[in-house]
Amino acid sequence: MHPPAADVNALLALYNTRRYAEAESRSRALLGQYPDAGLLWKLLSISLHMQGKDPLLALQKAARLLPGDAGVHNNLGNVLHDLGQHESALAAFDKLLALAPDAVQAHYYRGVVLRDMGRLDE
């Protein structure tokens, strides 16, 4: 079940006006009603990240619910890399590249992860 468009639009308005704490709070409230709404998990993760909070759990949930969302896999790969979870980051970038093979940024960040893993030949 998906949240009503009006609720999603109101949440996007909070995000677009950089009211991230309010967007986080509203996302969490909506997730209480719509726990399987991948877009809400994605917006929660972005709101958390923009506040300097840990978005990992929200991103992981978003990736499970939105397996075809390239942006989620990109964000997940970057967060995992920042946490030093290189194998998981590599898997996220591989998923992203399976969805969007021409995503230049994904190739770059995948290379950064491989470099950090000492796998320069790859």
For the chain, the three-class secondary structure string (H helix, E strand, C coil) is CCCCHHHHHHHHHHHHCCCHHHHHHHHHHHHHHCCCCHHHHHHHHHHHHHCCCCCHHHHHHHHHHCCCCHHHHHHHHHHHHHCCCHHHHHHHHHHHHHHCCCCHHHHHHHHHHHHHCCCCCC
**Rounded CA separation 74/77 (Å):** 5
Q: What pLDDT does 55 receive?
A: 97
| pLDDT at residue 5 tops 90 | yes
| pTM score, whole prediction | 0.89
**Rounded CA separation 108/57 (Å):** 24
| pLDDT at residue 122 tops 90 | no
**Rounded CA separation 55/106 (Å):** 19
Residue found under tokens 């194998």: 87
What confidence tens digit (pLDDT) does each residue in 57-107 have?
Answer: 999 999 999 999 999 999 999 999 999 999 999 999 999 999 999 999 889
What confidence tens digit (pLDDT) does each residue in 26-51 have?
Answer: 999 999 999 999 999 999 999 999 99
| pLDDT at residue 54 tops 90 | yes
At residue 1 the predicted structure's pLDDT band, cuts being 50, 70 and 90, is confident
Q: What pLDDT does 115 receive?
A: 94
Q: What pLDDT does 121 receive?
A: 86
Neighbours of 54 (CB within 10 A): 12
